[in-house]
Amino acid sequence: MEHHIVIDGTDIKYWEYHPEQQRTIFFWHGFRGSHRGLIEVAERLTDYRVIVPDLPGWGESGTLRVTHTFTHYVAFLKKFIAHFALDEFVLAGHSFGASLALEYAAAHPKHIQQLILIAPVVNAGSFTSRLGELYYAVGAKIPQPFRRKWIGNPMINMGKTELISVTLNPIKRQKLVRNEQKNLTYIRDWVEIETYQSFYDADFWQAMKSLSMSTTLISATRDRMTSLATSRQIAATIPGCQTISLKGDGHFVPIENPIAVADAMHEALTSS
pLDDT in tens, 112-127: 999 999 999 997 656 6
Whole-model pTM above 0.75? yes
225 confidence band (pLDDT: 50, 70, 90)? confident
pLDDT of residue 168: 66
pLDDT of residue 129: 67
Of residues 125 and 154, more confidence is placed in: 154
Decide if pLDDT at 108 tops 90. Answer: yes
- According to CATH, the superfamily of the domain at 2-124+201-271 is Alpha/Beta hydrolase fold, catalytic domain (3.40.50.1820)
pLDDT of residue 124: 63
pLDDT of residue 126: 62
Mean pLDDT of 151-175: 71
Q: Are the CB atoms for 207 and 234 separated by under 8 Å?
A: no
pLDDT of residue 177: 73
